[in-house]
Amino acid sequence: MIKEKNILKRIFISFCGPGKARMLRTSIFCILLSMLFGSLILLLLSKNPLVAYQSLLQGAGVLPKLNYPGKKSQLTGFLNLVDYTTPMIFAALSITIAFKCGLINISVAGTMIFSGILATVLVGYTDLNPVVARSLVVIIGLVSGGLLGGLIGWLKYKFNMNEIVVSIMINYIISYIVSFVINTKFADPISRQSVEIGQNARLNLMNVEMFGLKMNIPLLFPIAIFVVFLIDFLMKKTRFGFELKTVGSNRKASKYAGMNVGKTMIVTMMISGALAGLAGVSYYLGCYGSIQPRVQPSIGFDCIAVSLLGFITPIGCLFASFLVMIFQCGTSYLSSRLGVLREIPSLMTSILLLFSACAFYFQEKADACKIKLLKSRRPKNE
């Protein structure tokens, strides 16, 4: 019995204990643990967890399904996943960079709506040439988000206003104003959402016929990957990244070292806002084509947990976004195939996010375990 306990402990330590690639190992541990818990729930419902996970992956286009309707295949499923993951990557990066500077930016949801509506109204309903229109959409996303983020940073610096409170308020203000604008001016009488934008401004190529398939190709995805590495480089290798991390770690020491704390915070919030703006345009003008009034996009809040799951690193955000979106995209296939409620898969996502938030706790626990294990071993050798 004692030996068995030790084996479990040793497994735990080998996942979360000190050593190389610790972050990655702990993440994998969190994922496995949440899958274990998910299995328990499924077993309670007397469903086969293996089939469940398989269908989750099939639904998300990672594994092939048994049969597909006409003009669909695993590829279209996977492109769908990529499509929904793109805004999540931007949103998680937005949280990550602000967090590294010691700021908690909850305004991602509001910023997404803000940049979404601006791009929709300014470009979405025009007949500009596709290249011009799409570049304009991206620029509007960057600029509007950056300005909004900069505003929050400025309020924080100038009046020492708590950025969390400000960003929650901004979420509501934007959400209601935009609903008002949509309902009075741009509402589609049938869908009660904003009128769908024209194809020229859409950041996805819709219904492209290729290899006998009908696909949606997300154009911003390669840019998202590029931005992940760009932010990674910015934080690790540049002077600004060093200042950002220093200010995030200790404002007093940064001031003493001669850094311009206020400027660093404002610029960081601008970058964070610009990323949230990109998330907004890729969500509202990519995945969808219209904006639903009075609804704050859930990505704007899920991205906080995704950033944590990715250990608040840009590369981690990339993988974490995919993982979480696999759960979300596979949901409908899973629920229809196994006959479980749609809430069950989202419950599993929540468990995953919950465990990922405990990652640092697991690491600390593993350290303590290791010390105890080493100690219990010592007397035997003597």
Give the interface segment with other proteins, choosing from 161-169, 200-208, 219-227, 244-252 (CB under 8 A). Answer: 244-252
Inter-residue contact 147 to 87 (CB < 8 Å): no
| Cα separation of the two ends of the chain | 23
**Residue 191 or 249: which CB sits closer to other proteins?**
249
20 binds other proteins (CB under 8 A): no
375 binds other proteins (CB under 8 A): yes
Q: Which of 158, 237, 342, 377 binds other proteins (CB under 8 A)?
A: 237
257 binds other proteins (CB under 8 A): yes
33 phi-psi bin (left φ>0, alpha ψ -120 to 50, beta other): alpha
**Residue 105 or 246: which CB sits closer to other proteins?**
246
**Residue 50 or 368: which CB sits closer to other proteins?**
368
Residues 259-278 that bind other proteins (CB under 8 A): 259-260
288 binds other proteins (CB under 8 A): no
CA proximity to 197, closest of 274, 112, 283: 283
Instruction: Say which residue the tokens 């996977």 belong to.
Output: 78
**Residue 5 or 252: which CB sits closer to other proteins?**
252
376 binds other proteins (CB under 8 A): no
Inter-residue contact 318 to 222 (CB < 8 Å): no
Instruction: Tell me which DSSP letter residue 266 carries.
Output: H
At 73, give phi and psi (nearest 5°): -155, -175
Give the interface segment with other proteins, choosing from 231-239, 285-293, 343-351, 352-360 (CB under 8 A). Answer: 231-239
Copy the structure tokens of residue 180.
């008002």
Could you tell me how many residues of this chain bind other proteins (CB under 8 A)?
21
| Whole-angstrom distance, CA of residue 202 vs CA of residue 108 | 21
Inter-residue contact 30 to 22 (CB < 8 Å): no
Q: Which of 238, 298, 332, 376 binds other proteins (CB under 8 A)?
A: 238
Binding site for other proteins (CB under 8 A): 237-242, 245-246, 249-250, 252-253, 255-260, 367, 371, 375
